[in-house]
């Protein structure tokens, strides 16, 4: 595929390998080091063979197809209780219907859920059999992704000399958000002024991302060029969110990315851009978690670059901006983190 980013690949089974005494094997230490380097150098990487099988992902995509094929009126029965500015919404979202200016909104629909046993913030489900089967699968996926994220956090903590589980309490509430994303087919002309997901950084801890084969995800490189992130079977794409970046004092960048039409070589010559599905697990810190550079990464030579912020407040501010704008952050507006290392990384890349 033309203009594809070369992302590092980390092997998950090796990363989590332990000897009989429970210590990391040399292979595990090598992968831990490679993981840290990948996230430091790019903020994006492939995680090969995570404990989320291709079969599990394919089943979720089959459900996602069935869900988005339902009539709009049916999906609207579980319209996200928005939420404009209060947080990501569980249930169905359709930015073009809600945007102040639909002519600039992202060309996408999505279904979102928090942990399913959170009674304060109940998820919304349709009650047909397919939706209930999708619920069972999404709940399992949620827990599988949480486990993978704990392993990634263990590796990152150890790499800076902290205890294996030092970062685990920060995500103990499982405040994560899963979205099934649907980018409908659209005439090429529709992409003249709009994209599928405008350039943005993710807000939270780490994102695990899967897609069904349709290309179009792009990552912003240091040199200011966007490059396609190619889909790989049996891999999750992993990227760093703003708040994890803050914990690491900007060393791990929360890299700008976007979704546009696929490259010409993968989309055929028709006048329509085919639809695309993706599945994202946004790992989030506990809402009331104070996020500030970890003592292990600051020193006299590397003083803290970020003010402390509560995780929930940061996410709300980012979501509010998203809903006010009706789309992900547009490139010139990407200043929410201005003055911080996260934006220094982002804005130096977009100039
Ligand atoms: O659909 C994709 O591949 C990426 C979506 C994304 O970046 C997001 O929803 O934050
Ligand atoms: Fe994203």
Atom of ligand 1 nearest to the CA of 258: 7
Q: Is the CB of 209 under 6 A from ligand 1?
A: yes
Q: What is the pLDDT of residue 27?
A: 98
3-class secondary-structure state, position 215: coil
Task: Give, for ligand 1, the residue of 89, 207, 209 to mutate: max count of ligand atoms closer than 8 Å to Cβ.
Answer: 209
pLDDT at 172 over 80: yes
Percent of the chain with pLDDT over 90: 73
Q: Is the CB of 217 under 6 A from ligand 1?
A: yes
Q: Is the backbone of residue 256 left (phi > 0), alpha (psi -120 to 50) or beta?
A: beta
User: In angstroms, rounded to a whole number, what is the distance separating the alpha carbons of residues 189 and 80?
Assistant: 29
User: In angstroms, rounded to a whole number, what is the distance separating the alpha carbons of residues 225 and 256?
Assistant: 11
Least confident of 126-140, 181-195, 287-301, 317-331: 317-331
Residues 218-248: pLDDT tens digits?
Answer: 999 989 999 999 999 999 999 999 999 999 9
Q: How much distance in Å is there from the Cα of 163 to the middle of ligand 2?
A: 29
Q: Is the backbone of residue 87 left (phi > 0), alpha (psi -120 to 50) or beta?
A: left
User: In angstroms, rounded to a whole number, what is the distance separating the alpha carbons of residues 89 and 292?
Assistant: 26
Q: How much distance in Å is there from the Cα of 279 to the middle of ligand 1?
A: 8
Q: Is the CB of 52 under 6 A from ligand 1?
A: no
Q: Is the CB of 197 under 6 A from ligand 1?
A: yes
- Average pLDDT of the segment spanning 53-63: 96
> What are the φ/ψ torsions at residue 312 (nearest 5 degrees)?
-60, -35
Task: Give, for ligand 1, the residue of 257, 262, 277, 321 to mutate: max count of ligand atoms closer than 8 Å to Cβ.
Answer: 257
Task: Return the residue matching tokens 């804005």.
Answer: 347
pLDDT at 178 over 70: yes
Tell me the pLDDT band of 343, cut-offs 50, 70 and 90: very low
Q: Is the CB of 138 under 6 A from ligand 1?
A: no
pLDDT at 20 over 60: yes
Least confident of 21-35, 110-124, 275-289, 324-338: 324-338
> What are the φ/ψ torsions at residue 240 (nearest 5 degrees)?
-90, 135
Q: What is the pLDDT of residue 155?
A: 98
pLDDT at 338 over 50: no
Handedness of CA 93, 320, 279, 232 (dihedral sign): positive
pLDDT at 204 over 80: yes
Q: What is the pLDDT of residue 324?
A: 60
Q: Is the CB of 257 under 6 A from ligand 1?
A: yes
- Average pLDDT of the segment spanning 284-305: 97
Least confident of 54-68, 151-165, 259-273, 274-288: 259-273
Q: What is the pLDDT of residue 320?
A: 76
pLDDT at 100 over 80: no
Q: 36 CB contacts (<8 Å, ≥6 apart)?
A: 155, 156, 159
Q: 181: closest CA among 141, 220, 209?
A: 209
Measure CA 274 to chain center. Answer: 22
Read off the DSSP letter of residue 70: S
Measure CA 330 to chain center. Answer: 17
User: In angstroms, rounded to a whole number, what is the distance separating the alpha carbons of residues 23 and 225?
Assistant: 41
Which residues keep their CB under 5 angstroms from ion ligand 2?
202
Q: Is the CB of 278 under 6 A from ligand 1?
A: yes
User: In angstroms, rounded to a whole number, what is the distance separating the alpha carbons of residues 136 and 132?
Assistant: 6
Read off the DSSP letter of residue 60: H
What's the whole-model pTM score?
Answer: 0.92
Tell me the pLDDT band of 97, cut-offs 50, 70 and 90: confident
Looking at the CA of 276, name the nearest ligand.
1
> What are the φ/ψ torsions at residue 331 (nearest 5 degrees)?
-55, -45
Q: How much distance in Å is there from the Cα of 208 to the middle of ligand 1?
A: 10
Q: What is the pLDDT of residue 331?
A: 35
Q: How much distance in Å is there from the Cα of 133 to the middle of ligand 2?
A: 26
Q: What is the pLDDT of residue 58?
A: 96
Least confident of 9-18, 170-179, 190-199, 223-232: 190-199
Q: What is the DSSP string of 95-117?
A: HHHH-SSGGGS-S-EEEEE--TT
Residue 217 tokens read as 């995800």
Residue 284 tokens read as 């989030």
User: In angstroms, rounded to a whole number, what is the distance separating the alpha carbons of residues 132 and 67?
Assistant: 11
First and final CA of the chain: distance in angstroms? Answer: 25
Q: Is the CB of 259 under 6 A from ligand 1?
A: yes
Q: What is the pLDDT of residue 109?
A: 94
Given a contact cutoff of 8 angstroms between Cβ atoms, the answer to whether 180 and 130 are in contact is: no
Residues 115-136: pLDDT tens digits?
Answer: 999 988 899 999 999 999 999 9
Q: How much distance in Å is there from the Cα of 201 to the middle of ligand 2?
A: 6
- CB burial string 280-308: b at 16+ within 10 A, e below: bbbbbbbeebebebbeebeeeeeebbbee
| Mean pLDDT estimate for the chain | 88
Higher pLDDT, 70 or 99: 70
Q: What is the 3-state secondary structure (H, E, C) of 152-214?
A: HHHHHHHHCCCCCCCCHHHHCCCCCEEEEEEECCEEHHHHCCCCCEEEECCCCCEEEEEECCC
């Amino acid at each position: 595929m033309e203009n594809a980013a070369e992302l590092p690949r980390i092997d998950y089974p090796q990363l989590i390998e332990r000897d009989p005494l429970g210590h990391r094997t040399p292979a595990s230490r090598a992968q831990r080091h490679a993981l840290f380097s990948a996230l430091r150098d790019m903020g994006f990487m492939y995680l090969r063979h995570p404990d989320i099988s291709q079969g599990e992902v394919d089943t979720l995509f089959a459900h996602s197809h069935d869900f988005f094929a339902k009539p709009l009126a049916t999906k609207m029965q579980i319209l996200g209780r928005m939420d404009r500015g209060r947080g990501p919404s569980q249930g169905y979202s359709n930015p073009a219907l809600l945007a102040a200016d639909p002519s600039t909104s992202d060309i996408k629909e999505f279904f979102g859920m928090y942990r399913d046993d959170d009674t304060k913030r109940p998820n919304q489900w349709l009650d047909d059999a397919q939706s209930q089967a999708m619920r069972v699968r999404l709940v399992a996926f949620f827990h599988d992704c949480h486990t993978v994220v704990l392993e990634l956090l263990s590796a990152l903590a150890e790499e800076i000399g902290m205890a294996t589980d030092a970062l685990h309490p920060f995500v103990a509430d499982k405040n994560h958000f899963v979205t099934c994303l649907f980018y409908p087919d659209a005439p090429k002309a529709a992409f003249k002024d709009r994209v599928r997901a405008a350039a943005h950084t993710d807000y939270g801890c780490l994102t695990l991302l899967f897609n069904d084969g349709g290309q179009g995800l792009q990552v912003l490189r240091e040199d200011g060029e966007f490059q396609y992130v190619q889909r790989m079977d049996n891999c999750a794409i992993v990227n760093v969110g703003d708040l994890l970046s803050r914990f690491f004092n900007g060393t791990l960048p929360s890299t700008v990315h976007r979704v546009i039409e696929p490259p010409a070589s993968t989309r055929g010559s028709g006048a329509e851009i085919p639809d695309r599905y993706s599945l994202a697990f946004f790992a989030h810190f506990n809402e009331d978690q104070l996020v500030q550079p970890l003592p292990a990464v600051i020193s006299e030579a590397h003083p803290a670059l970020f003010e402390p912020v509560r995780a929930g407040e940061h996410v709300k501010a980012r979501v509010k901006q998203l809903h006010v704008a009706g789309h992900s952050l547009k490139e010139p507006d990407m200043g929410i983190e201005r003055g911080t290392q996260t934006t220094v990384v982002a804005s130096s890349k977009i100039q």
